[in-house]
């Protein structure tokens, strides 16, 4: 009951709580992990709530052997629990898993199909520049983005090369390489799966927009390790109006001007205590649902063996 209540309230309350955290821009990697942990905790809580109804605490509490025997009975002879609530709970858990799996397949396959079409087009109209380590496309609009995948490469237009200096070009390509090395397209695909599976849920919608923003901040920070921040900021100004494909990760975009201010006025890194609090919060979000779900089984286990010991 507690898990179901948390899942229901967390979808609405967690985005409001996380939106009030002031240090996310100072540690985008940790912030991404916290949004992911919040989403995972809600989904896992919903699944565990259904399983807790279907599987009595006594089954879990009397040992793993009894639990596996119950699972074997479930597979070979049907549901061993005769209550209607148990059957409904198992059905809901199954529907939830199937829904998430289906949506994940749709998101990944759709993005892969679009990337393949775009890669085929680039092979015709673009040329690989080994000096830049990028695909160059003859196009007047200033654009720089990366095409994720097994053989992902940054893409930059001739319009951007004419506008940016060599130092700015190197900085923006470092930003795109950071996206590729970090596999940020998979990070975004995971949260977009939840948005598609549970359309209208505030947590997943907010997490999608925030993670999309945070991966850009993270790529900026990675690029800034090897290039002056002012060069990245200048490149973002030149690329701010560029429109990249929806399935790609671009250096410009709607957040470019906000990121320019952040680059020119660097934020203070998190102190060790603040980082530790963030890590502990992520741990609570991830481990909390499992701990709550295990409590009835642990109580049943202790009650069973304490009684056996006494008598």
Q: Considering only CA atoms, which of 155, 143, 144 is closest in space to residue 118?
A: 155
242, two tokens: 């560029």
Pick 257 or 155 by higher pLDDT.
155
**CB 172, CB 251: distance < 8 Å:** yes
The full set of domain ranges for the chain reads 29-265
Name the average pLDDT for the chain.
83
Instruction: Spell out the SS3 assignment of 97-112.
Output: HHHHHHHHHHHHHHHH
pLDDT value for 83:
63
Q: Considering only CA atoms, which of 157, 160, 158, 149 is closest in space to residue 184?
A: 149
Pick 160 or 301 by higher pLDDT.
160
pLDDT value for 267:
79
Q: Considering only CA atoms, which of 217, 208, 282 is closest in space to residue 33?
A: 282
pLDDT digits (tens, 9 = 90+) for 266-279: 878 888 998 999 99
Percent with pLDDT over 70 in the chain: 81
pLDDT digits (tens, 9 = 90+) for 218-236: 999 999 999 999 999 999 8
pLDDT value for 73:
54
Q: What are phi and psi of 129, to 5 degrees?
A: -105, 105
What is the DSSP code string of 43-56? Answer: HHHHHHHHHHHHS-
pLDDT value for 69:
55
């Amino acid at each position: 009951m507690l898990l179901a209540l948390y899942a229901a309230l967390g979808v609405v309350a967690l985005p409001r709580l996380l939106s009030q955290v002031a240090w996310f821009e100072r540690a985008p990697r940790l912030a991404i992990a916290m949004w992911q942990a919040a989403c995972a905790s809600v989904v896992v809580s919903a699944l565990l709530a259904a399983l807790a109804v279907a599987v009595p605490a006594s089954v879990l509490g009397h040992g793993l052997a009894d639990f596996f025997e119950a699972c074997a009975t479930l597979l070979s002879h049907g549901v061993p629990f005769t209550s209607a609530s148990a059957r409904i709970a198992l059905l809901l858990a199954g529907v939830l898993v199937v829904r998430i799996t289906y949506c994940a397949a749709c998101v990944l396959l759709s993005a892969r199909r679009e990337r393949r079409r775009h890669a085929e087009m680039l092979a015709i109209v673009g040329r690989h520049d080994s000096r830049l380590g990028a695909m160059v496309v003859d196009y007047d609009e200033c654009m720089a983005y990366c095409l994720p995948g097994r053989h992902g490469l940054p893409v930059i237009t001739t319009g951007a090369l004419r506008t940016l200096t060599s130092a700015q070009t190197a900085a923006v390509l470092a930003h795109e390489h950071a996206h590729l090395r970090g596999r940020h397209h998979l990070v975004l695909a995971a949260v977009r799966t939840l948005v598609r599976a549970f359309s209208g849920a505030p947590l997943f919608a907010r997490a999608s927009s925030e993670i999309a923003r945070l991966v850009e901040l993270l790529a900026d920070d990675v690029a800034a390790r090897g290039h002056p921040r002012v060069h990245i900021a200048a490149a973002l100004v030149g690329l701010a109006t560029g429109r990249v494909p929806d399935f790609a990760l671009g250096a410009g975009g709607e957040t470019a001007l906000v990121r320019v201010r952040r680059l020119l006025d660097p934020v203070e890194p998190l102190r060790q205590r603040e980082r530790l609090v963030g890590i502990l919060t992520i741990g609570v979000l991830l481990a909390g649902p499992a701990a709550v779900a295990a409590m009835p089984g642990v109580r049943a286990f202790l009650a069973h063996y304490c009684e056996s010991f006494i008598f």
